[in-house]
């Protein structure tokens, strides 16, 4: 009997945004692997083991889960948001490619989820309503120069930009530097959205113009959306403003 | 009493990928608006009216839903995938900005969903595992030259590219032209994924190298993911290959 590994997206963290497919995959697993705070979001079930690991140990965590599945277990790896977006699905594939040949014979499934940029965008309107990109601001696995090149290419071509992993204790200056660079390409009034913990009790969403944005207001769990030159803010007396990017653009992308 | 408008993401179309939050919002609505085939996915409920419209009438559909909500109704606008990604949330915001001032006072909520690129990516592994972008290939609302500029910028900077709205009867040549342009920037072996109807009975997913890809195999409902120079295919004897983009990149983005 061969085991299986499901890599499961929990969505932004509120059980109301967990898909029935993901809930069923979690429930049917013999063993759960994941970063501790994500595992804590999954209701416990008798007979199911839990294997929490630290944030920076994706490769080792993926290998441990694959080894367990190869022993015949039904293993679930939990990921925040969508597992395919700066999360565990790529780490699992890396281990399958480089690891034990038997791992290629496992039943591996990825169960998608609502990734952070979609949850944050929904809260303010439709800032991703036109062409957009997603960039991880972490320079742990790629050089900072490449990140700068991508930010410039994206802003210069009129993409809205979602920034994942914007800041951490070990990477304190990168977000400020990114905003500095983006200010060379985008109007000072470009709306910038900071969102975290969407749908959870500590949810926080703010909208600021690019020239007034404060990098220190972000943390590891913040998802940032930087508008394009087209992104608009609709003021609504007594209500939060709506932020959206129109579906149309002229030849200049503006 | 003032009405409300929820713009709701149905996900890729299988009820197992509809979030509980979206299901509850659909159920509590007095009236449903949307493109006919999306409305057909929602179970009917006594006392709830349905207002189907054609694919190309987003603006008029959004205005009709806002008018109905302004009369005091709880209105739900359905969208395939996520409403904020090339779907109805931006069309609704456009109408709020340009339409009746009373519409700014409505309770408007966007309910996110699993957008097509996440569903297709999950089926093959983790092709969006590194920085990526999403581009609508429709030149109905933006000039083709801008689309070409964005494709070149994205491929040149090493983004994986998800293509929405790749082809239609009225836009028959654009996808072939896009592949032609991408071949100037990417290796011939770059994996290209075509996916449609994920989780539905007619689901179809294929993986081909960029130099052998056939644009005529796509239709309006196909989501295409074009890898970067880093995207890899893991062959698995007797199983479908896994396609993923590693989390690491060097300074060249390769």
The per-residue pLDDT for range A40-71, each reduced to its tens digit, is 999 999 999 999 998 778 999 999 999 999 99
Whether the CB of A246 is below 8 Å from some CB of chain B: the reply is: yes
CB B102 within 8 A of CB B70: yes
Q: Give the pLDDT confidence of B153-163 residue by residue, as tens digits.
A: 999 999 999 99
- The pTM of the full predicted model, rounded to 2 decimals, is 0.97
Cβ–Cβ below 8 Å for A83 and B126: yes
Which whole number is the average pLDDT over A21-38?
Answer: 97
Residue of B93, B135, B237 lying closest to A126 (CB–CB)? B93
Q: Does B13 touch chain A (CB under 8 A)?
A: no
Contact list, A119 vs chain B (CB under 8 Å): 112
State mean pLDDT over B137-155.
Answer: 97
**Chain B residue with Cα closest to A233:** B97
Nearest to B17 among A21, A86, A104 (CB): A21
pLDDT for the residue B251: 75
| Inter-chain Cβ pairs, chain A and chain B, closer than 8 A | 271
- For chain A, domains (ranges, CATH) are 4-114 (3.40.1010.10), 117-244 (3.30.950.10)
Q: Which residues in chain A touch residue B154, judged by CB atoms under 8 angstroms apart?
A: 133, 153-154, 157, 159
Determine the residue among B69, B83, B93 to mutate to test chain A binding: the one whose Cβ has the most chain A Cβ atoms within 10 Å: B93
Averaged pLDDT of chain B: 96
A44 touches chain B (CB under 8 A): no
Q: Which of A80, A116, A132, A129 is nearest to A198 (CA)?
A: A116
Put simply, whether B233 touches A (Cβ < 8 Å) is: no
A73 DSSP 8-state letter: -
* CA atoms lying within 13 Å on the CB side of residue A139: 18
Contact A179, A210 (CB under 8 A): yes
Tell how far CA A210 is from the center of its chain: 22
- The fraction of chain B above a pLDDT of 90, given in percent, is 95
Tokens linked to B200: 């539905």
**Do B19 and A18 lie within an 8 Å CB cutoff?**
yes
Give the residues across from B125 on adjacent strands. B243
Beta-sheet pairing, B239-244 with B223-226: unpaired
B56 has pLDDT over 80: no
CA distance B236 to chain A (A): 6
Q: Report the pLDDT averaged over residues B55-75.
A: 95
**How many residues in total does chain B contain?**
254
| Residue A217 forms contact with B (CB below 8 Å) | no
On whether the CB atoms of residues B153 and A154 are closer than 8 A, the answer is yes
Residues 102-131 of A with CB under 8 A from B: 104-105, 108-115, 118-119, 121-123, 125-131
Measured distance CA(B223)–CA(B58) in Å, rounded: 20
Average pLDDT of chain A?
Answer: 96
Neighbours of B223 (CB within 10 A): 26
Backbone angles phi, psi at B97, to 5 degrees: -70, -40
Please tell me the distance from the alpha carbon of residue B195 to that of residue B218, in angstroms, as a whole number.
9
């Amino acid at each position: 009997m061969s085991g299986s590994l499901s890599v499961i997206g929990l969505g932004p963290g509120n059980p109301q945004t967990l898909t029935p497919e993901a809930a069923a995959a979690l429930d049917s697993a013999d063993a759960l692997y994941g970063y501790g705070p994500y595992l804590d979001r999954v209701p416990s079930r008798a007979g199911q083991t839990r294997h929490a690991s630290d944030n920076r140990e994706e490769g080792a965590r993926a290998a441990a889960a694959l080894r367990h599945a190869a022993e015949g277990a039904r293993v679930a790896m939990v990921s925040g948001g969508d597992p395919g977006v700066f999360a565990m699905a790529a780490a699992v594939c890396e281990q399958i490619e480089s690891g034990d040949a038997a791992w290629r014979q496992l039943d591996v499934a990825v169960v998608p989820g609502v990734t952070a940029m979609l949850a944050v965008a929904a809260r303010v309107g439709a800032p991703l309503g036109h062409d957009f990109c997603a960039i991880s601001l972490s320079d742990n696995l790629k050089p900072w120069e490449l990140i700068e090149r991508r930010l410039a290419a994206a802003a210069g071509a009129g993409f809205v930009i979602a920034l994942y992993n914007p800041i951490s204790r070990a990477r304190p200056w990168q977000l400020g530097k990114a905003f500095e660079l983006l200010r060379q390409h985008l109007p000072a009034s470009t709306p910038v959205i900071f969102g975290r913990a969407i749908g959870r009790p500590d949810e926080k969403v703010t909208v600021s113009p690019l020239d007034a944005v404060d990098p220190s207001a972000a943390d590891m769990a913040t998802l940032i959306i930087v508008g394009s030159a087209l992104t608009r803010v609709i003021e609504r007396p007594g209500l939060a403003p709506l932020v959206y990017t129109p579906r149309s653009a002229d030849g200049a992308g503006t």
